[in-house]
Structure 1
Amino acid sequence: MLNASTVKNVLRTGLLGGLMSSGGGALGVENIQFNTDVLDLNDRINIDLSQFARSGFILPGTYPMVLKINGQALREYAVAFYPPEDDPKASEACLTSEIVKQFGLKEDGGAQLAWWRGGQCLVIESLPGMSASGDLASAALNVNIPQAYLEYSAINWDPPSRWDDGEPGLLIDYNMTVLSSSQKYKGTSNGLSGNGTVGANAGAWRLRADWQARIEGRNASNQQQRMTWSRYYAYRAIPSLRAKLVVGEDYLYSDLFDSFRFTGASLNSDQSQLPPNLRGYAPEVVGVAKTNARVIISQQGRVLYETLVAAGPFRIQDLNDAVSGSLDVRVEEQDGSVHTFQVETAGIPYLTRPGEVRYKLSTGRPSNLRYGSDGDVFGSGEFSWGISNGWSLFGGAIGDNNYRALSIGVGRDLLAFGAVSMDATQSHTSLSGEKLSGKSYRIQYSKNFDEYDSQVSFAGYRFSEKNFLSMSEYLDARYYGLYENFEGTNQYDEYGNRRGPVGGNKAAYTANFNKQFRDLGASIYLTYHRQTYWNRPDAQRWNVAVSRYFTLGSVKNMSMSLNMYHSQEYQHKDNGVTLSVSLPLGRSGTLTVGADRAQGKNGFSTRYSDRFDDRNSYQLSASDTSTSAYLSHTGDHADIDLSASTQGGDYSSLSLSARGGGTVTAQGGAFHRSGVTGGTRLMLDTGGVAGVPVRGYGAPTQSNAFGKAVISDISSYQRSAATVDLESLPANVEATQSVTQLTLTEGAIGYRTLDIISGEKAMAVLRLPDGTSPPFGATVKNEKQQDTGIVNDGGSVYLSGIHAGEQMTVSWGGAEQCTLTLPMNLPTDGLTDTLQLSCLMVGVNHSRPAPLTEKSTDTENTSS
């Protein structure tokens, strides 16, 4: 069946192909001569080809166009076309200062620009080699600029001149988990936990308030409720400094010193504003869940991440790369058991590009989630200077009235052998009348062995003298005491994470390694951390995962994996090993049979996972002691996970997790899925058309009843694209613009419109009041000024975007000539039933008759 796009393309091809006379003028500013004899028309006199008669000519006026720089689509602008002073019959795009800012010109390139029309429009010739032309067919303004004039750019990364701060607006994001469990002899217990962000955007400023909550209890009388606003803060990007300014409650993000919470201000070089290949390392958390489990990752009591995971190995890789220091991981199994461990987020070697200086400055008062302000006003600063191609020098200092620390280090790019950095820190502490002084030494190494398909993400070693204290240890010691006064006992914070004696760190080893054996279809992944102390037992954790794909007989894509882990912290030990074999079953299902040993017990399990469609997947599990089910749904408004399990007749549980958010701007609002809480997002406006499927990088989401949709999987400072899912468009919807691209600053609410035509489609025959037809080549537009058809021979036209009773205008000769009103009763089949429509001349006084609604079967005036 023909659609509107197909018919329009056929008509345009018929107009342009074969019309140009071989004796015509040049394709520059000269008029093009058309040979109308090649057209099979009944009326060769009633033809309007004025819009095609001059190559590249666009009638003076203002048009919505997508700006394209060297073929790269940016955002849409209202572009005005004016006749130049030396050629009143031509037209030229007016490139305003707002559009020129998107070019990303170097300072020396911008200095030589000239302007016309009173300084409103750029003189294109003032930048040698530059050209600009409009294309009405694709609604694009194509600008070509020699690369020598442009700032540095990379794939999917734009220079700061193209960054978009987004729209003013409000947002609320949430991550909620509801748990109900029933245990023999203990009754039923219910719990609710969650975290999220409430925020507002105003220009480049982002105002945020982070919250976390937990409600637990067996009945209403003994419920324990904790609701905490963990952070109130505001931040903004400062592109000229490639830095981020934060005011309010924040955490110290340092490459040299441990993280702690404080209230004050910080100005930090922001690696996320650099091209992707120059950014830092984001930590990841790996582990094994014995059942469907809830995983909570926190730092100093602040929940960073919470999610439901299915039974088996899990790997969490989407933590913010600004996180540093020790992370507390709590795995709450659905059988009621809980195990915790810590992950060290060692960084990659501290290197800086030649000639560049990175810095981080912070000041304020340390604060505590439980106690509020904690300690005296402090100040910290650090820097890294790229001395040359291979060497970087870095250092910093931090301190208050009772604590001082100074650090100095050097980094070296070893080229084919990776990168390494070494630093030393000296601390002086005055605590309870006692003075402590010590040194700490650290070395870090990183290397990608591409030729061996392997990678050392990081490898680090730190040695600290007995009396060395970091700033965070000094602050903790004010409440928990030093290691020699603590007698080895343990405490737990409000989220169940173990808190032991402070200080006494001796040596820490950290490594992360993975290797691919492509010929064997195998891979190995290893993480290791060991912490030794001066006066208490060592702590360590390691995890090894080995997997291999293979074929057995006629069964392909089978896999075998072995996962082993060991954890020891204070007097608590946890060891486990899991061996599993997976094979494909059905079109998309996977059957996994496994055996495991944990805490001295053997277990056997069977899991089957599959998906109903692109949005819904599930997993069914059974072991010798329990059964469980896990369902995951990707919705337009939220991601929802549902988990249920039973363990014999002694224990049963049901969990529901939802992650989503809501965003409101002056243009409208929408509920949506949520990625990073409080993070960057894009609102798409489909012109009031509901049900339009749009997507970023994940599953599509549909525009709501007001024609708004929000996409949350948008990266900060990285060029992102949003597209219309053309394969899933409703039958009565057509997307004339299906892709938009932009680069948003951190936390921005981007806003873009998409050109969507909705309505029925039908063949029509247009008649003027005198009985004649509009000329061949005339264009039809709806009330939104969207092209809905091109008039063919005899006034026939294939119309799209038809709404009962709506008016459309028909233009030829460079102006609107007549208007038509669509009938209230539309045909049921637009390709066989033809509308007979009267087109009333614009500016003529007459009584407008009712539109004709009779159906015609006259094939002489019908064009296919």
Structure 2
Amino acid sequence: MQTLRQSGSAIPTSAGSYTGKMTPIALILVSMFTASNAQADLRVTPPQSIARNVEFDPQFLNMGNAQEMDLSRFANGSNALPGHYKVAIYLNRTALLNADVEFKSREDKTVYPCLTPKIVGSIDFNTDRIPASLLKAIKGGEQCIDLTQEIPAAQVVFDSNEQRLDIQLPQAYVNTLARGTVNPALWDSGVPAGILGYNINAYSSQSNGNDSKSLYAGINAGVNIGAWYARHNGAYSWADGGQKKYTTLNTYMQRDIPVLQGRALIGESNTNGLIFDTLPFSGVQLSSDERMLPESLRGYAPDIRGIARTAARVTVTQGGQIIYERTVSPGEFIINDLYPTGYGGNLDVTIHEADGSEQNFTVPFASVAQLLRPGTHRYSVTMGKLRNDFIDDDPALYQATYQRGLTNIVTGYGGVQASQDYHALQLGAAVGTFVGAFSADVTQARTHLPANSGGTQSGQSYQLGYSKVISETNSSLSLAAYRFSTEGFMDYLTAMNTREAVRQGFPASSVGRAKNRVTLTAGQGLPGDWGQFYISSSLQNYWNREGNDTQYQMGYSNRYKSLSYGLSVNRSQSAYGSTQNNYLLSFSFPLGRRDSSHTPNIRVQLNRDSNGNMREQTALSGTAGAGNQFSYSASAMNSNNGGGASGALNAQYRSQATAVSASYGAGENYQSQGLGLNGTMVAHPGGVTLTPYNGETFAVVEAKGAEGARVSSYPGVHIDSHGYAIVPYLNPYQMNDVSIDPKGTASNVELDNTAQKVAPHAGAVVMLKYTTKKGWPVLINATFEDQPVPFGASVQDEKGNNVGAVGQGGQIYARVSSERGKLNVIWGDGSHMACQVGYVLMPQPKGQKASAVQTFTSLCQQASNNNVPKELASRSASGSPSGS
């Protein structure tokens, strides 16, 4: 007997639900058909490929009224009854689209999906190979296309449990698509919505009798109207006795242009840094977005690591603007969740210690060799003005860049920059070879200065890049850039700063001009279990300034059983002569089983700096709660040179509405406190919903009546009391699975579908509606004329919707939506082959949970023509719900 998957009266699906619902009985019936060495094929397939005219032996069930049962609808297979289904359609296992599809019966009562010209037309056919009749049917707008009749080699497979319709076509009939391709017709621009993301951090410290208080509130606000998305990113900084100001990072409006695989932007933003360094601008931009390509065709913000001596505040700036701020615990920290800020331009990091001291260092941020696949390209055109608080005259910025994969191993790229009194042109190429990937480019620049400040300055800058991963030796090497610039060369920002200095009366030489710049990153896995070694360094010197800017990090890490350990050395030296060294030895291990989600972790660190300061720290951290919604850490530290003993406590709670964090630190002569809030408010057509997550692209899940159900896999994301939930971090232009776990909902609530797929535009707020029905499951032992009602008979409610089927012994399992009513039992054509079962549910005590299933015995009475119209009985004989 063929193995069958059971499907209940409510079928969990990935795209929707059949309006009449399949039942286990219908599937059992199909499995019990017998034919000469043949089994019933449960797929919606071409009629010539399935078992034909199989017959069911009713004597097997010992049914006295079996001769009156009409089981012909199961004689040719299929696990779908005629009707309307909301399905996810896949072409050769790649998502095509979601659609409502009507399933119809052929003359032999096999069932096939009636595909509309819109559905069939979304297939990227090889028009030279498909039949002319199919093209004519698509262009002619026929209401129903039977694809298996038009292309005999085609297969159409329907899975009613998953509500998934798979179309299989020979590759010769369709154009080849890259893995992960999502048809742009499926991209969802979302619903009108308002977004307000917030990151609030209050911090105070007391040191040697001095009090310091500060507040940072960053917001990411936006409004979506149709395909236009408006965004504003800003931050308010307040310091007791210091500066109090609101800083606008950028404000812009954008719209995707799928045909160009790009986006138009108006307002304030940043150039992408692929060819020239990242620059903030105000104006207009048209640029490509690689995320619109499938993942298999895609060709970066760096991690920031540092060491905090106390419970400190870390600020990250780029080009003088704050782009990130966070409170960290004492010891080593990593920041790896920066918003994308381009691919060039160093990041300046400041650690504000609780005792009033500061640490400063720079993280190099440069693009490496950029190889593209043949025929793919990246482009960007920007026209506007430079945004820089230190340059008063708002110089113009005109920039265009382009990259294209010329062959399988060569990519060409170039760009132009222009402003008043400044022009630059860059040309280059990247080459992929067996010894690594190389890039080389040259930039010619000309800057016009007043005659008394040097006059016209002209020069070149030459850059070489290299990257290589050697899997055999577990090695990686990336010489992100070696750049040599002649004395007369200035990049755009240096030229604008020089012009500003001259305008304010300073000499042109007051602005440093880079001569050599090297950035090196390398990693090496050692043989056997000897661990991993890495090095990262940068060096820059100047034509008109003594000294070098130097920074390097070296480290070694390994693991022995559950013990992880590492050693790192950080050194930085500025051109002005200041040097800072840091050495860190660390150990970490779990306090219990590593495979347990709530096992706390211990970390021990020994730190020494170039001033002879020694610090020993022990930290305990972990998570708690059923959804890991609680996180905590506690640390104790001892320092020499008068630092003494200190400690810090940190805790975070991620509720359904927001994420709350708190910290406390104390040491000799100082103490500090911190409090933070993080989350997003989303206004949508159904109201306002809160989430503890920040993000770019969201889904609003609407499931009225399913309060308490968990959504997807993020802690704290549940259907709220208004029937909504926010799912963050959707991948734009790619299919995202959004599922609901019904656990936690009331027993009388049924979800028509529990999962959907969506491919949103970047920045969209998409709406996913999950239909819920309130009903009560019943199990009725029904008899008709002193016998159990016929096995396999259809059971419909008073509206004609299929709600169940009759099992053995005349048992009816169904879910009813009314506390009293009638069910129609139909097993043939005509009112004499139908009867009605009345039911009245037992009242439930107020405040008591409803019973899972109510069971009772009832007489199925002869149905009159008034109660069961002939057309209803006729349709039920073929299994089609009248509600279709």
The reply to whether TM is greater than 0.5 is: yes
TM-superposition CA deviations, 1:736-765 (whole Å, max 9, x none): 644433332211223334466666655344
Residue in structure 2 matched with residue 602 of structure 1 by the alignment: 614
Residue in structure 2 matched with residue 862 of structure 1 by the alignment: none
Distance change in 2, residues 1:118/1:725 (3 Å):
closer
Residue in structure 2 matched with residue 267 of structure 1 by the alignment: 286
Residue in structure 1 matched with residue 332 of structure 2 by the alignment: 313
RMSD: 4.0
Match status 1:516 vs 2:535:
no
Residue in structure 1 matched with residue 236 of structure 2 by the alignment: 213
How many angstroms does 1:400 deviate by?
A: 2.0
How many angstroms does 1:481 deviate by?
A: 5.3
Q: Secondary structure at the match of 1:472?
A: helix
TM-superposition CA deviations, 1:155-197 (whole Å, max 9, x none): 544353443333332222222222233334123x432213232
1:532 to 541, 544, 554: 541
Distance change in 2, residues 1:709/1:445 (3 Å):
same
Distance change in 2, residues 1:774/1:172 (3 Å):
farther
How many angstroms does 1:129 deviate by?
A: 3.3
Q: Distance in 2 between matches of 1:778 and 1:51?
A: 12
How many angstroms does 1:35 deviate by?
A: 1.6
Q: Secondary structure at the match of 2:362?
A: strand
Amino acid in structure 1 at the alignment position of 2:726: V
Q: Distance in 1 between matches of 2:665 and 2:222?
A: 37
Alignment of 1:416-815 (within 5 A): 416-433=434-451, 434-457=455-478, 459-480=480-501, 485=506, 502-517=511-526, 519-520=528-529, 522-534=531-543, 535-550=545-560, 556-571=561-576, 572-587=578-593, 588-598=599-609, 599-613=611-625, 614-624=628-638, 625-648=645-668, 650-666=669-685, 669-676=688-695, 679-695=696-712, 698-699=714-715, 701-725=717-741, 737-754=753-770, 761-765=777-781, 775-778=790-793, 789-799=804-814, 805=819, 812=826
Amino acid in structure 1 at the alignment position of 2:100: A
Q: Distance in 1 between matches of 2:852 and 2:205?
A: 60
Q: Distance in 1 between matches of 2:229 and 2:764?
A: 8
Q: Distance in 2 between matches of 1:363 and 1:184?
A: 52
Amino acid in structure 2 at the alignment position of 1:603: R
Q: Distance in 2 between matches of 1:108 and 1:96?
A: 21
Distance change in 2, residues 1:813/1:560 (3 Å):
same
Q: Secondary structure at the match of 2:490?
A: coil
Match status 1:325 vs 2:345:
yes
Checking the alignment, whether the CA contact within 8 Å between 2:735 and 2:757 is kept in structure 1 is: yes
Distance change in 2, residues 1:89/1:718 (3 Å):
closer
User: Which deviates the most, 37-46 or 460-469?
Assistant: 37-46
Match status 1:343 vs 2:343:
no
Q: Distance in 2 between matches of 1:784 and 1:379?
A: 66
Q: Distance in 1 between matches of 2:178 and 2:798?
A: 41
Distance change in 2, residues 1:845/1:126 (3 Å):
closer
Checking the alignment, whether the CA contact within 8 Å between 1:194 and 1:213 is kept in structure 2 is: yes
Q: Secondary structure at the match of 2:375?
A: coil
How many angstroms does 1:405 deviate by?
A: 0.4
Distance change in 2, residues 1:339/1:775 (3 Å):
farther
User: Which deviates the most, 579-588 or 155-164?
Assistant: 155-164
Match status 1:34 vs 2:56:
yes
Q: Secondary structure at the match of 2:733?
A: coil
Checking the alignment, whether the CA contact within 8 Å between 1:360 and 1:382 is kept in structure 2 is: yes
1:290 to 290, 309, 318: 309
TM-superposition CA deviations, 1:699-749 (whole Å, max 9, x none): 462112233222112222333322334777776666664443333221122
Q: Distance in 2 between matches of 1:254 and 1:104?
A: 35
Q: Distance in 1 between matches of 2:293 and 2:391?
A: 37
Distance change in 2, residues 1:47/1:88 (3 Å):
closer
Checking the alignment, whether the CA contact within 8 Å between 1:804 and 1:825 is kept in structure 2 is: no
How many angstroms does 1:399 deviate by?
A: 0.4
Residue in structure 1 matched with residue 218 of structure 2 by the alignment: 195
Q: Distance in 1 between matches of 2:569 and 2:95?
A: 48
Residue in structure 2 matched with residue 185 of structure 1 by the alignment: 209
Residue in structure 2 matched with residue 140 of structure 1 by the alignment: 164
Residue in structure 2 matched with residue 353 of structure 1 by the alignment: 373
Distance change in 2, residues 1:133/1:607 (3 Å):
closer
Amino acid in structure 2 at the alignment position of 1:515: Q
Specify every segment of 5 or more residues in structure 2 that has no aligned partner in the other structure, as ranges: 1-5, 12-21, 42-46, 594-598, 639-644, 868-884
Checking the alignment, whether the CA contact within 8 Å between 1:329 and 1:342 is kept in structure 2 is: yes
Amino acid in structure 1 at the alignment position of 2:59: D
2:99 to 65, 77, 102: 77
Distance change in 2, residues 1:327/1:109 (3 Å):
farther
Distance change in 2, residues 1:71/1:291 (3 Å):
same
TM-superposition CA deviations, 1:771-804 (whole Å, max 9, x none): 987653355678999976443245433445x667
Checking the alignment, whether the CA contact within 8 Å between 1:427 and 1:438 is kept in structure 2 is: yes
Distance change in 2, residues 1:483/1:611 (3 Å):
farther
Q: Distance in 2 between matches of 1:332 and 1:355?
A: 48
Distance change in 2, residues 1:638/1:517 (3 Å):
farther
Distance change in 2, residues 1:837/1:710 (3 Å):
farther
Q: Distance in 2 between matches of 1:248 and 1:842?
A: 70
Distance change in 2, residues 1:387/1:25 (3 Å):
closer
Checking the alignment, whether the CA contact within 8 Å between 2:836 and 2:862 is kept in structure 1 is: yes
Checking the alignment, whether the CA contact within 8 Å between 1:737 and 1:755 is kept in structure 2 is: yes
How many angstroms does 1:394 deviate by?
A: 1.8
How many angstroms does 1:253 deviate by?
A: 1.6
User: Which deviates the most, 348-357 or 52-61?
Assistant: 52-61
Distance change in 2, residues 1:362/1:75 (3 Å):
same
Residue in structure 2 matched with residue 856 of structure 1 by the alignment: none
Q: Distance in 2 between matches of 1:639 and 1:811?
A: 54
TM-superposition CA deviations, 1:650-707 (whole Å, max 9, x none): 222222233321223335552223344xx122223335411111225x5462112233
Q: Distance in 1 between matches of 2:629 and 2:74?
A: 47
Q: Secondary structure at the match of 1:716?
A: coil
Q: Distance in 1 between matches of 2:39 and 2:588?
A: 70
Q: Secondary structure at the match of 1:723?
A: strand
How many angstroms does 1:558 deviate by?
A: 1.0
Distance change in 2, residues 1:832/1:664 (3 Å):
closer
How many angstroms does 1:347 deviate by?
A: 1.1
Q: Distance in 2 between matches of 1:293 and 1:431?
A: 44
Q: Secondary structure at the match of 1:452?
A: coil
How many angstroms does 1:225 deviate by?
A: 2.5
How many angstroms does 1:240 deviate by?
A: 2.2
Distance change in 2, residues 1:407/1:791 (3 Å):
same
Checking the alignment, whether the CA contact within 8 Å between 1:66 and 1:139 is kept in structure 2 is: yes
Checking the alignment, whether the CA contact within 8 Å between 1:781 and 1:809 is kept in structure 2 is: yes
